Amino acid sequence: MTAYLQVTDLNKRFGGLQALRDCSFTIAKGRITCLVGPNGAGKTTIFNAITGFLAPDTGHVAFQGTSLDGKTPQQVVRHGIARTFQNLRLFADLTARENVLAGMQDHVGEEPFAAIFRPIHTARTLAAKRLAALDVLAHVGLQDRADTLVRNLSYGEQKLLCIARILATGADLLLLDEPTSGLSGAALTEVMALLRRLQSEGKTLLVVEHNTRVVQQIADDVLFLHHGHLLAHGSPAEIIADPKLAEIYFGGAL
């Protein structure tokens, strides 16, 4: 059977550092897979390699049987995979809605000739997109913040906006790089509930997550990365119960 996402033997070297080493795994459709491992294990590098932000030295990525090798980030999004960034990368001086619009495909701003020669069509398209952007914001609970500048949103709201922005692409496979980092209390609970809701709506999620409690609560599958190599995969209970992995991850403090 063809895997939903298949990553095969990725290798990536940065100067003297082997960031990915024969890294292989698959992701099953409709599941939440957590990607865990110590800082510097290569988690973000894997996201970069899957989404076309970085060319691996060797190895392959295939989505639903189609090779993504050599694709640009825009092409990867059109195939149905979108990712968030660990460092948010929002436009601080734009509103929440404008940030979502910037993430939408076929944005009218990319059609200068249509804007000049078909102004009514363009205005209608733009109005439709502004409504669609509001829908996406409502989906993550930010409908009341649509016209607020990002710099005036709380950190938790900014994390939700990052997810809204990739939902706007319509992608089915969502790669989330530390969506809960820096969050606690209600904000953390809210993001966890959103991830589960997205899964129930048919999305597939690959999530870099450091908090063991969060992993236990949201993950169907766990991938454990160490020095750029997939060291183990299993259920959250299996991974957390493995003393070798706990030693690597926490110095035995689990």
Ligand X SMILES: Nc1ncnc2c1ncn2[C@@H]1O[C@H](COP(=O)(O)OP(=O)(O)O)[C@@H](O)[C@H]1O
Q: For the CB of residue 225, give the shortest distance to ligand X in the complex, in Å.
A: 7
Q: Does 17 bind ligand X (CB under 6 A)?
A: yes
Q: Is 45 in the site for Mg ion (CB under 5 A)?
A: no
Q: Which is nearer to ligand X, 117 or 250 (CB)?
A: 250
200: partner contacted, choices ligand X, Mg ion, none (Cβ within 5-8 A by kind): none
Confirm or reject binding of residue 19 to ligand X (CB under 6 A): yes
Paired tokens of 152: 């005036």
Alpha carbon distance 244, 247 (integer Å): 5
Q: Does 43 bind ligand X (CB under 6 A)?
A: yes
Instruction: Tell the smallest beta-carbon distance from residue 249 to ligand X (Å).
Output: 12
Identify which range of 61-69, 78-86, 179-187, 229-237 contacts Mg ion by CB under 5 A: 78-86
Residue 7 phi, psi dihedral angles, 5° rounding = -110, 125
Whichever of 39 and 200 has its CB closer to ligand X, that residue is 39
- 41 binding ligand X? (CB under 6 A): yes
Binding flag, residue 39, ligand X (CB under 6 A): yes
CB of 183 to ligand X, least distance (A): 18
Task: Kindly state whether residue 45 participates in binding ligand X, applying the rule CB under 6 A.
Answer: yes
Please report whether residue 48 would count as binding Mg ion according to CB under 5 A. no
Nearer to ligand X, 14 or 155 (CB): 14
Binding site for ligand X (CB under 6 A): 14, 17, 19, 37, 39-45
* Interface positions with Mg ion (CB under 5 A): 43-44, 86
